[in-house]
Amino acid sequence: MSNPSLLILPGDGIGPEVMAEVRRIIDWFGDKRGLAFDVSEDLVGGAAYDKHGTPLHDDTMARAQEVDAVLLGAVGGPKYDVLDFSVKPERGLLRLRKEMDLYANLRPAQCFDALADFSSLKRDVVAGLDIMIVRELTSGIYFGEPRGIIEEGNERVGINTQRYTESEIDRVARSAFELAMKRGKKLCSMEKANVMESGILWREVVTEVGKDYPEVELSHMYADAGAMQLCRWPKQFDVIVTDNLFGDLLSDAAAMLTGSLGMLPSASLGAPMANGRPKALYEPVHGSAPDIAGQGKANPIACVLSFAMALRYSFDQGAEAERLEAAVNKVLADGVRTADLLGEEGVQPVSTSGMGDAILGA
Ligand code: NAI
Ligand code: MG
């Protein structure tokens, strides 16, 4: 059987810097763990625009559709601010998400012990936290029709429509149940079925899908109560599934329970391919960080943890993902810090590659 395939798109700014460390880690898995990938690398964002006049070349798009997983760094930068909207670096990323139809956005909130004091919450509340928010990404109020600003009588009216079809709810619910099966087998679905019909349907369909996953303990919560519970005692959750709008807010809030932007990975998953693996794009939550680009200061951990997610969710290598996460945990426990993680006095920051060295060493 051929090796699983991985398309790497480093992008712009610190994207290539953090991705270089991930490449070393990928090679390590090939050398030391017999886990070889068929890796190809290509351009996206401003880098693609510079070469091809478009932020995502058609050949790159076609390759992304074929591979088992795409790993992306970051796109954008001040150099491209003057470009027309249609060729802005971000359009490359949006095209990938849209054409791969990546409807389930996975945002973990995970607390590494050594960074528990970074949180705005008490150590007890966040230490050991490991939850996953699944946000529906391709429908809901950001896309529903009718929309717009209209004149009505003698005033303006702003309109957006929350609209979910049964199949849209069904497919994201299935992604969430599949994830729950690979994790703690607990799923909490959040909507506002008390005041929204789309929420009533959401609850019904998630409950129906749940019949196919009897091992997963399913609960439902109103999204506003969920927001409170996330701040009060987040460790009660394992996987949370919610719609596009609530997921936008809840995933950002949950991410900040644990601290730095330089630590946050993400995944966007679509329908299962012929080989059973979901279409998948893994990327750090952060952007291209032009303020520190080219200086070797970027924290590669968000990108490294995005690869760990790929190991777990695309390649069924949960134990290897844990190995990588444990290495990150050890490095942090040893006090190794990039500049963005400095809190304690007298600690000298390591460079991007210094952090890569430390993770490989661990
Ligand atoms: P940003 O995430 O690039 O940076 C925000 C702040 O966090 C900066 O001070 C940066 O230095 C710091 N930071 C981010 N990642 C870091 C890391 N790995 N290590 C250490 N520090 C880190 O967001 P910003 O400044 O709003 O956007 C910059 C550019 O990135 C823009 O062109 C924006 O459009 C683009 N962007 C791209 C995204 C993507 O590719 N998914 C997401 C967000 C922004
Ligand atoms: Mg947001």
- Name the helix (H) or strand (E) containing 218: strand 217-222
* Structure confidence by residue, pLDDT tens digits, 242-265: 999 999 999 988 888 877 789 999
Q: Kindly report the CA angle at 95 between 275 and 135, in degrees rounded to 5?
A: 70
Query: What Å distances lie between residue 209 and 157, 166, 180, CA to CA?
Result: 37, 11, 13
Considering Cα of 254, then 259, then 260, then 262, what sign does the dihedral take?
negative
Q: What is the mean pLDDT of residues 283-296?
A: 96
Coil vs helix vs strand at 196: coil
> What average pLDDT is seen over the chain?
95
Q: Determine the distance from the C-alpha atom of residue 178 to the mean position of all C-alpha atoms in its chain, rounded to a whole number.
A: 16
* Structure confidence by residue, pLDDT tens digits, 307-316: 999 999 999 9
Q: Is the ipTM of this complex over 0.95?
A: yes
Coil vs helix vs strand at 343: coil
3-state secondary structure 106-166: EEEEECCHHHHHHCCCCHHHHCCCEEEEEEECCCHHHCEEEEEEEEECCEEEEEEECCCCH
Q: Which two tokens stand for residue 298?
A: 């970027």
Contact 134, 179 (CB under 8 A): yes
Per-residue pLDDT band for 281 (boundaries 50, 70, 90) equals very high
Q: Is 164 a catalytic residue?
A: no
Q: What are phi and psi for residue 180, nearest 5 degrees?
A: -60, -35
Q: What are phi and psi for residue 296, nearest 5 degrees?
A: 65, 25
Q: What is the mean pLDDT of residues 75-84?
A: 96
Locate the DSSP E strands across 254-334: 265-272, 278-284
Q: What is the mean pLDDT of residues 262-289?
A: 95
Nearest to 270 by CA among 61, 74, 99: 99
Q: How many helices (H) and strands (E) does the chain have?
A: 12, 12
Q: Is 252 a catalytic residue?
A: yes
What DSSP state is assigned to residue 341? G
Per-residue pLDDT band for 344 (boundaries 50, 70, 90) equals low
Q: What is the mean pLDDT of residues 23-47?
A: 97
For ion ligand 2, residues whose CB falls within 5 Å: 248, 252
Q: What percent of the chain clears pLDDT 70, i.e. is strictly above it?
A: 99
Q: Is 142 a catalytic residue?
A: yes
- Pocket-testing residue among 17, 88, 288, 338, ligand 1, by greatest number of atoms within 8 A of Cβ: 288
Q: Is the CB of 46 under 6 A from ligand 1?
A: no
How far is Cα 103 from Cα 112, in angstroms, rounded to an integer? 28
42 is in an annotated binding site: no
Q: Is the CB of 77 under 6 A from ligand 1?
A: yes
284 is in an annotated binding site: no
Nearest ligand to the CA of 294 is 1
Nearest to 53 by CA among 7, 104, 87: 87
* CA 253 to ligand 2 center in whole angstroms: 9
3-state secondary structure 263-330: HCEEEEEEEECCCCCEEEEEEECCCCCCCCCCCCCCCCHHHHHHHHHHHHHCCCCHHHHHHHHHHHHH
Count of CB atoms situated within 10 Å of the CB of 297: 19
235 is in an annotated binding site: no
Beta bridge partners of 109: 131
Q: Is the CB of 302 under 6 A from ligand 1?
A: yes
More confident residue, 346 or 144: 144
Q: Which two tokens stand for residue 103?
A: 């409807």
Q: How many residues does the chain have?
A: 362
Q: Which two tokens stand for residue 189?
A: 């679905």
Q: Which two tokens stand for residue 177?
A: 């149940």
- pLDDT value of position 2: 85
- Name the helix (H) or strand (E) containing 8: strand 5-11
Beta bridge partners of 156: 151
Q: Is 211 a catalytic residue?
A: no
Q: What are phi and psi for residue 346, nearest 5 degrees?
A: 80, 0
- pLDDT value of position 342: 83
- pLDDT value of position 41: 98
How far is Cα 225 from Cα 195, in angstroms, rounded to an integer? 13
Q: What is the mean pLDDT of residues 33-47?
A: 97
- pLDDT value of position 78: 96
Coil vs helix vs strand at 204: helix
Q: Hey, what domains does the chain have and what are their CATH numbers?
A: 1-112+257-362 (3.40.718.10), 130-255 (3.40.718.10)
Indicate if the pLDDT at residue 341 is higher than 70. Answer: yes
Per-residue pLDDT band for 347 (boundaries 50, 70, 90) equals confident
- pLDDT value of position 203: 98
- Pocket-testing residue among 261, 291, 301, ligand 1, by greatest number of atoms within 8 A of Cβ: 261
Nearest ligand to the CA of 135 is 2
Q: What is the pTM of this model?
A: 0.92
Indicate if the pLDDT at residue 1 is higher than 70. Answer: no
